[in-house]
Structure formats: structure tokens, C-alpha cells
């Protein structure tokens, strides 16, 4: 619509004026905010923008490929794809404490990103997809810190370390405005309306020690669940169950249980499905998914993902459970 069209024109003009002929780097995660920021800045300054996409090996199925196809392929943006999965998994070996895992992933992320940023010597700006609620949240961080239950990815401090100026074109926008902007910039609806995904990714959805084999099994199970949620509509509202849930995913439990397959006995891993409805992620209800959807999903996971022979559904609300299992 024209309101968004005008907004884009103004935002583009502002970015051009701010940046001039200087170069900008941006950490692309595949999430909504960094994607929309990248698309907007690319619209404004084209090849003066270089996106750095760090793949920590803990992303969802085909996520890296999708990000590259969208930004390098369709938008023709400059994207440096860093496959750091071996490095991340190496540092995570033997570590099973959730907070320790978060710290390692966060620290490695900053390290890998910094190393790439330093290679781009001509860059003067660091762009971030900070949105208005992030601005408010970090403003109140001092008082909230004591009650922080899980440490979140925090890349604050990066621009100073790198000696870069900060470019945050989404600072004044709420999430729904960021999504509208993304669609107006031509990003696919599914990308812009995706459920949130934590920075540490599958690192906190594999309970205990993270292993590549576990991540590979989890990715496939998770993709089946998401596909079924996207393909199943609620008859009353006409919406898909993906739209009717705020966040949904599979969790890998490194526990083996006995099953049967043909005339044989199996002894394989368990996956838990989690789907919640919430408006603010501070409290959340487990979603009353249709049994038929759960049945199809578990049938497919057990048949298609060799190595998983049992699927459970998490019926815990927040509080006292959290949304993620770690």
C-alpha cells in the first residue's frame, strides 16, 4: 500500500544520507529482523552492503540454503556465507549445561563474525536489525538483569570493538510493522511470518551434549512437524496450525527406548513436539493441536527418520515450564 511505499522511500533516503558512499556490514541470521534490515539497506545502497551469514551448524533444515537463495540469489545482495559448523560443534563437545552451551555459542558467534568483519576493511558501518521492543528491553536491562532466567544472545558491544558506526533502520518499528515492511520489500510471506527461533538454535533443543548426528535427526523431525502444521487448517478459523501457534518445534531427547519395526526390535531416540500459543512469550499455553495432526506427524517422523522410534507431545504450560526445554 501507499503508506508503506512512502515509508520505504523515506527510510531509503535516510539510510543514503546517513551512509553516503561508505560501506556497511550486517550479520544475517535468517530471522525476520535481520532479513528485513538487510532487504531495506540493500534497497537503499545496493553493493555498499555486505551481509555476513554465520552458519553455526545448529540451524533448521535447509535454512542456510534458503537464506543464500533469497539474498544472494533473488536480491543479488553481497553475502558472505561462513560455514562455521565444525568450529561450533568442536567447542560444544563434552558440554551439557544449557547456560554453558549458550555462552559458548554466543562467544563463538561474536568471534566468527568479528573475524569476517575485520576482513572487510573498507566497512565503516555495522547494521543491526534492532527493533523498538529491543530498544526498550535493553534500556530496562539493568533492573531486569536479576530476574533473567536464560541468558540471551547478546551482540551488544560489537560495533565499539570493531570501531564501526551503528546503523539501525528498524529502531522505531514494532514487530508487525517490520513484517509489513518485509513483505512490501518483496520478501516471501513465509519468511517474514516465521515463528521466532532462538540465537543458539538447535543447540538448546538437543538436551545435554550437542552432537552432529543428533542435530541431523532433529532437523528432519522438526521439518516434518512444521510441514504438517503448515499443511493442516483449522476448520473453524480457516487458518493453518502454523499460523494458530506462536512457536512450534521438535526437541531431541538423548534417551533410548525400545520399539518394533517389522520383525525386529529397535532401540532408538525420542523426540518431543512442542507447540505453544502466547502473546508475549512470558507466559504460554501448550497448543491443543488436533489429534489427527499429531498422529500424522508422529507416524511420519517414526517412518521417515531412522534413528527415532518414539514421539511425545509436551503438555506443559509456561510457567512453570519454559517454552524451550533448555
Q: Is 283 in the site for ligand XMP (CB under 6 A)?
A: no
Q: Is 281 in the site for ligand XMP (CB under 6 A)?
A: yes
CA nearest neighbour of 68 among 54, 56, 87, 57: 54
120 vs 26, 76, 106, 130, 164, CA distance in Å? 11, 19, 22, 22, 12
26 vs 19, 59, 70, 130, CA distance in Å? 14, 19, 15, 12
State which of residues 38, 54, 198, 309 lies at the interface with ligand XMP (CB under 6 A).
Answer: 198
State which of residues 35, 50, 247, 298 lies at the interface with ligand XMP (CB under 6 A).
Answer: 247
CB nearer to ligand XMP: give 78 or 205: 205
The reply to whether 279 sits in an annotated binding site is no
Cα gap 282→196, rounded to integer Å: 14
The reply to whether 96 sits in an annotated binding site is no
Q: What is the CB neighbour count within 10 angstroms for residue 274?
A: 24
Exposed e or buried b per residue across 73-109, where buried means at least 16 C-beta atoms within 10 angstroms of its C-beta: eebebbbbbeebbeebbebbeebeebeebbebbbebb
Q: Is 318 in the site for ligand XMP (CB under 6 A)?
A: yes
Q: Is 150 in the site for ligand XMP (CB under 6 A)?
A: yes
Q: Is 200 in the site for ligand XMP (CB under 6 A)?
A: yes
The reply to whether 34 sits in an annotated binding site is yes
Cα gap 97→268, rounded to integer Å: 23
Q: Is 301 in the site for ligand XMP (CB under 6 A)?
A: no
User: Residue 201 Cβ, how far from ligand XMP at the closest point, in Å?
Assistant: 9
Q: Write the CB contacts of 56 (distance below 8 Å, at least 6 apart in sequence).
A: 84, 85, 88, 105, 108, 109, 201, 203
- 240's grid cell: 493453518
Q: Are strands 285-286 and 264-277 parallel, antiparallel or unpaired?
A: antiparallel
Q: Is 322 in the site for ligand XMP (CB under 6 A)?
A: yes
111-119, 224-232, 261-269, 316-324 -> range binding ligand XMP (CB under 6 A): 316-324
The reply to whether 246 sits in an annotated binding site is no
User: Can you tell me which residue has the cell 517422523?
Assistant: 301
Q: Is 35 in the site for ligand XMP (CB under 6 A)?
A: no
Cα gap 86→103, rounded to integer Å: 17
Q: Is 169 in the site for ligand XMP (CB under 6 A)?
A: no
# chain residues binding ligand XMP, by CB under 6 A: 14
CB nearer to ligand XMP: give 19 or 92: 92
The answer to whether 54 and 24 are in contact (CB under 8 A) is no
β partners of residue 249: 274
Q: Is 233 in the site for ligand XMP (CB under 6 A)?
A: no
The reply to whether 190 sits in an annotated binding site is no
138-146, 148-156, 225-233, 292-300 -> range binding ligand XMP (CB under 6 A): 148-156
User: Residue 195 Cβ, how far from ligand XMP at the closest point, in Å?
Assistant: 8
Binding residues for ATP: 29-35
Binding residues: 29-35
Binding site for ligand XMP (CB under 6 A): 102, 150, 152-153, 196, 198-200, 247, 281, 318, 322-324
Amino acid at each position: 500500500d501507499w503508506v508503506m511505499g512512502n515509508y520505504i522511500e523515506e527510510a531509503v533516503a535516510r539510510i543514503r544520507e546517513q551512509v553516503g558512499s561508505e560501506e556497511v556490514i550486517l550479520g544475517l541470521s535468517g530471522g525476520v529482523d535481520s532479513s528485513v534490515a538487510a532487504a531495506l539497506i540493500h534497497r537503499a545502497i545496493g553493493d555498499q552492503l555486505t551481509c555476513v551469514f554465520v552458519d553455526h551448524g545448529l540451524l533448521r533444515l535447509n535454512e542456510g540454503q534458503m537464506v543464500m537463495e533469497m539474498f544472494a540469489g533473488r536480491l543479488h545482495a553481497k553475502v558472505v556465507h561462513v560455514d562455521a559448523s565444525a568450529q561450533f560443534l568442536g567447542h560444544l563437545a563434552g558440554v551439557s549445561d544449557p547456560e554453558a552451551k549458550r555462552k559458548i555459542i554466543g562467544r563463538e558467534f561474536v568471534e566468527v563474525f568479528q573475524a569476517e568483519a575485520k576482513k572487510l576493511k573498507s566497512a565503516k558501518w555495522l547494521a543491526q536489525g534492532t527493533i523498538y521492543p529491543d530498544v526498550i528491553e535493553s534500556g530496562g536491562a539493568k533492573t531486569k538483569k536479576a530476574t533473567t532466567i536464560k541468558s540471551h544472545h547478546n551482540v551488544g558491544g560489537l560495533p565499539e570493538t570493531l570501531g564501526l558506526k551503528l546503523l539501525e533502520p528498524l529502531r522505531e518499528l514494532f514487530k508487525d510493522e517490520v513484517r509489513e515492511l518485509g513483505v512490501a520489500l518483496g520478501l516471501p510471506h513465509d519468511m517474514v511470518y516465521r515463528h521466532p527461533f532462538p540465537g543458539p538454535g538447535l543447540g538448546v533443543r538437543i538436551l545435554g551434549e550437542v552432537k552432529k548426528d543428533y542435530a541431523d535427526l532433529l532437523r528432519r523431525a522438526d521439518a516434518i512437524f512444521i510441514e504438517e502444521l503448515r499443511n493442516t487448517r483449522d476448520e473453524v478459523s480457516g487458518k493453518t496450525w502454523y499460523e494458530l501457534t506462536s512457536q512450534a518445534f521438535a526437541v531431541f531427547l538423548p534417551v533410548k527406548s525400545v520399539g518394533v519395526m517389522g520383525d525386529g526390535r529397535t532401540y532408538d531416540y525420542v523426540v518431543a513436539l512442542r507447540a505453544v500459543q502466547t502473546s508475549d512469550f512470558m507466559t504460554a499455553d501448550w497448543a491443543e493441536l488436533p489429534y489427527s495432526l499429531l498422529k500424522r506427524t508422529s507416524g511420519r517422523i517414526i517412518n521417515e527418520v531412522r534413528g527415532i522410534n518414539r514421539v511425545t507431545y509436551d503438555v506443559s504450560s509456561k510457567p512453570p515450564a519454559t517454552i524451550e526445554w533448555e
